[in-house]
Structures are given as structure tokens and as C-alpha cells.
Amino acid sequence: MTVRVFEDDPNIAGDDKLFRRIARTWIHWDEHGNATISSAAFRDEELSVNIESVMARDGRPPADAIRKYPGYGLAAITASHARSLNQRVAPDPLDEEPSHGVVYGPKKRGGIAGKLRDGAEWIVTPTANEWLRTGVAAEKPPPRRAAVASGTDWPTSPCRRARLARSWWTRPRASSSSTPFRR
């Protein structure tokens, strides 16, 4: 497997927006139905983006970046914001996507992914209705925060319930008169 290394391209202006598709697994919904982006959306070392200036040159609107991805949202960061976090911004045109680019650099340590997320703005915000309409509800249950907001304090995941049920804290304690409890 060859390792690709990208050099920062000075032809991509600092105020150029870099569009990132936001998968539904990277979206957190609050109790009011508002979508927020998870930092997981920005953790890839080779972060795939669409470059605004190339899309504009080709006469394409930003929403064109997600036309084949129903249920996805679209967020944007600026090239200068990525560079301020020691990331390199480079074009990486593909046959099917000439505006494709890469934000390259380590993101898992030092909170880089979170800082990229904090600098992102929604371009196309998914709605809770769209989330349901695209069949996501059948694939994945709503986030656990929904259970907490509804007043349910028991974990919603069957695996989590099983882990808690057999955890050390819920096991009976040995009395001083009996044999000590062994794990």
C-alpha cells in the first residue's frame, strides 16, 4: 500500500470554502431537532472535501456535493482555518468529482478534529424529517440523548444493559462469614 503525501497548494485561497459531506452517523440531534456535527466527521488524515472555487468555476452550487447522498448534510470550513491547525489543503481531482480536494495532516491528537468541527458551518442542514424519510430510523435508533430527554434513565442499548447487569458493581457482595467472592 502506497502512502500518499500532499503538499499545501497556495492556489487555494484562504477564504475558499471546503465542503465536507456529513454522514448521518456524524450528526447529533438535540431535543429540539437541531443537528450538530460530531468531531468524527473531521478525523480522517486524508479528509475528503470539495473545493468551492472549482465548483463555482464549473457552475455548480454547493448542494451538488451531496446530490448522490440522500440524508447527508453539507458543512464548510475555510482553507485558512484548516491551515491554522497545521493541515495542508490540496486538490485531488477524481474522474467523477473534479472539485475533490484533501485536507491532509494528523487530526486524532491535540483536538484538531474538534477544532475543525468548531470552525465548520452548515451549508445544507439535514432535518429530523429528512432523517426519518431517508430510512435512517430503520437502520439506526435515535441517539441515546433522546432517551435521556424523554425521562428514561435506563440505557437504551441492549448490549449496555447486559454489561451493566453483569458488572462488578451489581454482583452480590460476600459477607464476612462466608467464603470471599471471587471474580
Residue 43: which of 91, 113, 93, 96 has the closest Cα?
A: 113
Which H or E element spans position 17? strand 17-22
Q: Which residues of the chain have pLDDT under 50?
A: 136-142, 146-148, 154, 168-170
- CA torsion sign for 154, 41, 75, 107 is positive
DSSP state of 173: P
CB neighbours (10 Å) of residue 112? 19
Rounded Cα gap, residues 41 and 44, in angstroms: 8
> Do 20 and 101 touch, CB atoms closer than 8 A?
no
Is there a contact between 81 and 49 (Cβ–Cβ < 8 Å)? no
- Which residues does 112 contact at the CB level (< 8 Å), separation at least 6? 42, 85, 86, 87, 105, 106
Q: Kindly state the cell numbers that stand for 18.
A: 471546503
pLDDT at 70: 85
Distance CA 74, CA 96 (A): 18
Residue boundaries of the structural domains of the chain = 17-141
Residue 114 one-letter amino acid: G
**Interatomic CA distance for residues 72 and 157, integer angstroms:** 24
pLDDT digits (tens, 9 = 90+) for 110-123: 899 999 999 999 99
CA atoms of 41 and 23, how far apart (whole Å): 8
Distances (CA, A) of 110 to 17, 86, 87, 113, 114: 23, 11, 13, 8, 9
Q: How far apart are CA 57 and CA 10, in angstroms?
A: 17
